Amino acid sequence: MSNAEKITVADVSAGLGGTDEIEPGTPVELPVVDILTGRGFVTGKSGSGKSNTASVMMENLLDNNFPVLVVDSDGEYYGLKEEYEVLHVGADEECDIQVSPEHAEKIASLALEQNVPIILDVSGYLDDSDAQELILETARHLFAKEKKLKKPFLLVIEECHEYIPEKGGMGEAGKMLIKIGKRGRKHGLGILGISQRPADVKKDFITQCDWLVWHRLTWRNDTKVVGRILGNEYASAVEDLGDGEGFLVTDWSESIRRVQFHRKRTFDAGATPGLDDFERPELKSVSGNLVSELADISDEKQRRESTIADLRQQLDTKDATIRQLKRELEEAKDLSRMADQFAQALLQRSEAPYHGGEGRNLARDDEQSDLYEYEPGEHVDGELDQSSGTQIQGETDQETTTDTDEWTDEQVRAWAKSDQGEGDTDVEAEAHAQPSEENVDDEIAALARLGTVSREEIAEEAMKFAEAVDIGTRQAVIEELVDRVTQLPEPSLEILRHYREVKTSDPLTAHIETGGDADQQFAYSRHRPLRQAGVVQHIGRGEYEYAVPDLIDDAYAHQLADDEVSEMVAAVESAFVSEVEDPRETRPSKASTPGFMFDMD
């Protein structure tokens, strides 16, 4: 290491604010130890020469093998690599290596223990918090290591007002820099702050500095700072300083000197672009070993991030499995409702001739059939007995029940198809099929047809609807459905309106679309009344569809024309939708249609 104790960075300049005691052109020498371990501040408006002054000081320190670390906020110090083997780290591809806060300790170790000059370029970080964290961690490790090493070392901070502002909140990085300014000197760690706006820099930092350089300033707030510290004479003179000129104030000199700083020798990457072609100089490369040490940290970080990503993916998969199990649990709770619907369809077809039934429920065993036998005297001519499958023919009783053994395969398939809208397979085969996620709905349907779902298990709500159908009037069906809808809580009604609009959805989406949050449990709790009322039906994989039209269509065994079903649907929807299009407006009136027993208007 060089034994140089002083560096020459400027010459005395003539002019207002200077001194008559020193002849202009006299070299200005600065003590190395005071620069490396002290607290410095260089300021001046853009283009006045403050960055050049900092570069000249660093060039002189590097010439004498004194390492520095500069926090470069604008990416303008890499020109030092034209003459010096400086490690350039940051976020840009032009850096020797891209770094993150994980590299901070190694960066501090290279600077202090291996004497490597470093440019910490934070200009390429898109997220300011990333840059702040990197500066914080690097400064923290420098301070901790210097407590043991006590090696003279200079930390240069460009645009220091961004980290130690006079107004507004100060982040953790700024607090660490203030700590270095107050306590770093006794450990050998110096700091140099650079800013074009002294009025924006925390005054506690400026007033504690051992040496300061004031370049040209013109803004009133900034010149007022000069006046408070140097006096009014200098506040006026600072506005007229030439490029590279400045007032040098140091604790080791009693006078304020007006000086002209030397021009830096290395490439000026911070110069304002002109019309001439930009020509980047040949830059020195750093040792491959230095980069490889940092690269090992990057590789370790990538491995760690990859492991975290794998674990996060596994967690997401498990979360998805849990959500699926929850959906399946909700679907399992719907099984009894599904069984009710199948049993209801059986009752409709066996007990109402106009439903297409034959007078006997296929699901009844012989003992159950006794409960539905026709008792004379419980009907009038031509009317349907409400508790059996017997239809009056004139004055005589005629039993119309038909045993399942007498049904043809074609009848069974047709009847199954009318129940499910899909089935044309053998009922026995469906009932004994192995359970699976794909055939669970068909399996339950087949079990219902074969009578394994007893009448006692049919929910009271389903029975009400079946009874309404058996009355034989469309108005009764409408009233039953309107009663179900009007008893729904308002949040569930909103979800029903959503299903009416989009036809197919799922509980969580419906809940969010109607103003709810993403709480799945809350969404299903509001969705449950719709399933219990039967106005939505499960179609598989957690999705449901709007079921009011199908309820009406199924109630009449698909015997009604589409326009008749549409009119009944409109009548029901008028109970929960403010404006329902009257289907009769698009076709001739059917007011005289037999069995049409309600008025839409």
Paired tokens of 164: 């130690």
Do both 322 and 238 map to the same domain?
no
> Of 331, 357, 384, which residue sits at a domain end?
331
Q: So what's the pLDDT on residue 254?
A: 75
More confidently predicted of 590 and 555: 555
Question: Is 430's pLDDT higher than 60?
Answer: no
pLDDT given for residue 19 in this prediction: 61
The answer to whether 465 and 478 have CB atoms below 8 angstroms apart is no
Decide if 204 is inside a domain. Answer: no
Are 249 and 340 members of one domain? no
Same domain as 244, residue 133: yes
Distance from C-alpha of 164 to C-alpha of 200, rounded to nearest angstrom: 9
Overall pTM surpassing 0.75 (yes/no) = no
Q: At residue 129, does pLDDT exceed 50?
A: yes
Residue 254 and residue 493: Cα distance in Å, rounded? Answer: 85
Q: What does the DSSP assignment read for 530-575?
A: HHHHTSEEEEETTEEEE-HHHHHHHHTTT-S-HHHHHHHHHHHHTT
pLDDT of residue 549: 92
**Which residues are paired to 194 by β-bridges?**
42
Whole-number pLDDT of residue 367: 41
Mean pLDDT of the chain: 77
Which residues are CB-contacts of 103 (< 8 A; sequence separation ≥ 6)? 89, 134, 294, 297, 298
Domain with 408, as residue range(s), is: 334-455
Whether the CB-CB separation of 171 and 131 falls below 8 Å is answered with: no
Closest by Cα among 465, 64, 77, 509 to 269: 77
Are 249 and 110 members of one domain?
A: yes
8 Å CB contact between 430 and 444: no
- What number is the average pLDDT over the span 362-374? 37
**CA quadruple 80, 70, 234, 32: dihedral, nearest 10:** -80
Q: Are residues 563 and 415 in the same domain?
A: no
142: nearest Cα among 128, 157, 124: 157
pLDDT at 138 over 80: yes
| pLDDT score, position 124 | 92
Domain for residue 462, yes or no?
no
Confirm if 247 and 238 have CB atoms less than 8 A apart. yes
Q: Say yes or no: 36 and 174 in one domain.
A: yes
For residues 29-42, average pLDDT: 95
Is the backbone of residue 256 left (phi > 0), alpha (psi -120 to 50) or beta? Answer: beta
Structure tokens at 312: 């996060």
β strands within 122-176, DSSP E: 153-157
In-domain check, residue 343: yes
User: Do 55 and 266 contact (CB within 8 A), yes or no?
Assistant: yes
To the nearest 5 percent, what fractions of the chain are helix, strand and coil?
50, 15, 40
Band (473; pLDDT cuts 50, 70, 90): low
CATH number (domain holding residue 55):
3.40.50.300
Residue 279 pLDDT: 64
Partners of 119 in beta bridges: 70, 88
Q: Which of 353-357, 445-449, 527-531 has the lowest mean pLDDT?
A: 353-357
Q: Are residues 320 and 342 in the same domain?
A: no
Reported as a pLDDT band with limits 50, 70 and 90, residue 385 is: very low
Are residues 311 and 370 located together in one domain of the fold? no
> What tokens appear for 236 in the block?
């006026």
Residue 424 located in a structural domain: yes
Alpha-carbon span 125 to 524, nearest angstrom = 44
Q: Among residues 574, 504, 565, which one has the least CA distance to residue 540?
A: 504
Together in a domain, 163 and 238? yes
C-alpha gyration radius of the chain: 44
pLDDT of residue 492: 92
- The residue with tokens 């009848």 is 411
Whether residues 246 and 359 fall in one domain: no
Longest CA span, the chain: 141
424 and 378 within one domain: yes
DSSP 384: B
Q: Which residue has the higher pLDDT, 17 or 87?
A: 87
pLDDT at 210 over 90: yes
* pLDDT computed for residue 502 by the predictor: 94
Share of the chain above pLDDT 70, in %: 69
Burial 167-205 (b: 16+ CB within 10 A, else e): eeeebebbebbbebbeebbebbbbbbbbbbbbbbbbeeb
Map residue 193 onto helix, strand or coil. strand
Share of the chain above pLDDT 90, in %: 47
Residues in the chain: 601
What is the predicted pLDDT for the residue at 259?
95
Residue 176 CA to residue 183 CA, distance in Å, equals 10
Confidence label for 287 from pLDDT (cuts 50, 70 and 90): confident
504 in a domain, yes or no? yes
pLDDT surpasses 60 at 413: no
User: Of the candidates 216, 247, 262, which is a domain's last residue?
Assistant: 262
Whether residue 303 is found in the same domain as residue 258: no
Assigned domain for 562 exists: yes
d(CA 598, CA 601): 9
CA atoms within 13 A on the CB side of 7: 23
Asked if residue 172 belongs to a domain, the reply is: yes
Number of domains in the chain: 4
Q: Which of 217, 479, 435 is nearest to 335 (CA)?
A: 435
Residue 65: inside a domain: yes
Residue 355: both structure tokens together? 């439903």
Pick the residue with more confidence: 370 or 533?
533
